Amino acid sequence: MLRTIALGTLLGLSVAFAGSILPNNELQLGLLAQAAQKKLVVLANMHLQGDKKERFGNLYDEYQKSLTELRVKKLQLIRRYAKEYTRLDDKTADRLLNDWIRIQKETLDLKSKYLSAFRKILPPSLVLRFYQIENRLDLLQEARVSAMIPLAIPEEAGKKLQTVIETAQKKAQAEPETNSGK
């Protein structure tokens, strides 16, 4: 589960490799290919030409690199959650919620910051189009990742679930003995 989430969440990491020697790690190469594919989709749908396309592409790379840091934080949060979700106490749940909200705010702040930069090189209608494209791609990514993340199991329910599992395991172990006596 974490490997698949890592692939999706760290899509933006590959932007860091732009302009450098290609990595020898298959995961990093895969991420680089995904980032290149995402940029291809964005550029193809922006319909930009010449200098405008070049300036937009450079700013887009910078923006994606900045988003990468937040994606890494989000992945770390997901990993923490994956370790705790079956036995969440209130303190841990509060900490996870607060960290998630902080990452969401940082992401929104970053998008706002880059909004003014994109406005300097593109007319408002194209900036709107870019943010629509980016939002659609982000929503697709969020849907894929969210589908892989199980819902939280509060600590008390986790204890009950563990009891049910243990009872079922004992019953399953006892059944062969019952059937073998026939």
Same domain, residue pair 108 and 169: no
Three-class SS of residue 118?
Answer: helix
Same domain, residue pair 48 and 112: yes
Same domain, residue pair 88 and 144: yes
- The per-residue pLDDT for 82 is 87
Structure tokens at 127: 């900036």
Number of domains in the chain: 2
> Are 7 and 27 contacting, i.e. CB atoms less than 8 angstroms apart?
yes
- The per-residue pLDDT for 152 is 82
Same domain, residue pair 101 and 165: no
Tens of pLDDT along 78-105?
988 888 888 788 898 999 999 999 999 9
Same domain, residue pair 136 and 181: no
- The per-residue pLDDT for 57 is 95
Same domain, residue pair 61 and 136: yes
> Are 11 and 31 contacting, i.e. CB atoms less than 8 angstroms apart?
yes
Q: Give the chain's residues under pLDDT 50.
A: 1-19
**Boundaries of domain holding 159:** 155-182
Distance of CA 140 to the CA centre of its chain: 10
Same domain, residue pair 141 and 97: yes
Same domain, residue pair 113 and 182: no
Q: Where are the alpha helices (DSSP H) in the chain?
A: 2-9, 26-46, 50-84, 90-121, 124-148, 155-180
- 74 contact partners, CB below 8 Å, separation of at least 6: 9, 103
Same domain, residue pair 136 and 101: yes
Same domain, residue pair 81 and 134: yes
Q: How many CB atoms lie within 10 A of CB 7?
A: 15
Tens of pLDDT along 157-177?
666 666 777 788 888 888 765
Q: How many CB atoms lie within 10 A of CB 29?
A: 14
How many whole angstroms separate alpha carbon 165 and alpha carbon 162? 5
Same domain, residue pair 163 and 95: no
